[in-house]
Amino acid sequence: MKVSADAENEVHDVARFTDAARCVVTPVLELPADAALVVVGAFARLVRNAKSSAAATTPDGDGIVRSQTFEEGDVYMLEAPFDGFFADRYLMDFYDVAERDLCSRMHVHTGLRFVRMMTGPDTRIRVSSLSPFDVRNVPGVTPFLPRTFEDALPDAPPGAARTRYNLVVPPCSFVDVQIPRGVSHQFNAVGEHAVIDSVHPEESIEIFRERMSGFRMMAQTVFLAAEPPPAASCSDLPE
């Protein structure tokens, strides 16, 4: 899927892009505000501690740097792959789009992802894709259904209008999203209390398949826009 395996800012033409499948969303639970703040804050502290840790910011014996950065936030490889186990797990501490006046770009990954999004008080996550979301609802079990809406992809090139499908993770809630390989997605946090727990079930296979030289989230990403758009393009959450 990548032209240059180690490129960390490879951009593909969004006008010609077609999703390989759809993202599947499963609402998990809602928490009281105080409980949500404790949980989200504890995960965020792990990422922040890693960012200032010499051990996490330098290559370990397997050449893995556990503390990394991505467009949506700082990340920490909580669990690394090893011989006979090709998956890994990242935590991400989201940036608040209002603080940076920037949104993340629409992108795809060269391997599938399983993502649990978690929000605290006064914080929402806007999840976007170029294809509609499949939201799973098990009557009597699913605690809520996230709000969805459509708008125009703001950074599409002239003459290449694309519909953007959006889903809002409400405050103090957990929502899972299964992202097949090669499916567009975009996460943006509106508020300061948002984290992601992300499992990459084919990480080592992905590295070998793409002939990459190391475990870096950015090297496993293909962007569908050249530059991050301003915050106004993702912070508006219409009722």
- CATH level 3 topology of 14-235: Jelly Rolls (2.60.120)
237 pLDDT higher than 90: no
What local confidence, expressed as pLDDT, does residue 238 receive? 76
The pLDDT assigned to 186 comes to 96
pLDDT tens digit sequence for 110-149 = 999 999 999 999 999 999 999 999 999 999 999 999 999 9
Please tell me the predicted confidence (pLDDT) of residue 239: 66
Please classify residue 202 by burial: count the beta carbons closer than 10 Å to its beta carbon, then call 0-12 exposed, 13-18 middle and 19+ buried. middle
For the cut 80, the answer to whether the pLDDT of residue 1 exceeds it is no
- As a whole number, the mean pLDDT across the chain is 95
Global pTM?
0.95
Distance CA 105, CA 22 (A): 18
pLDDT at 120: 98
Percent of the chain at pLDDT above 90? 91
What is the average per-residue pLDDT within 193-205?
A: 96
Mean pLDDT value of segment 184-189? 97
Comparing 118 with 216, which gets the higher pLDDT? 118
pLDDT in tens, 11-22: 999 999 999 999
**Mean of the pLDDT values across residues 24-42?**
98
pLDDT tens for each residue of 34-64:
999 999 999 999 999 999 999 999 999 888 9
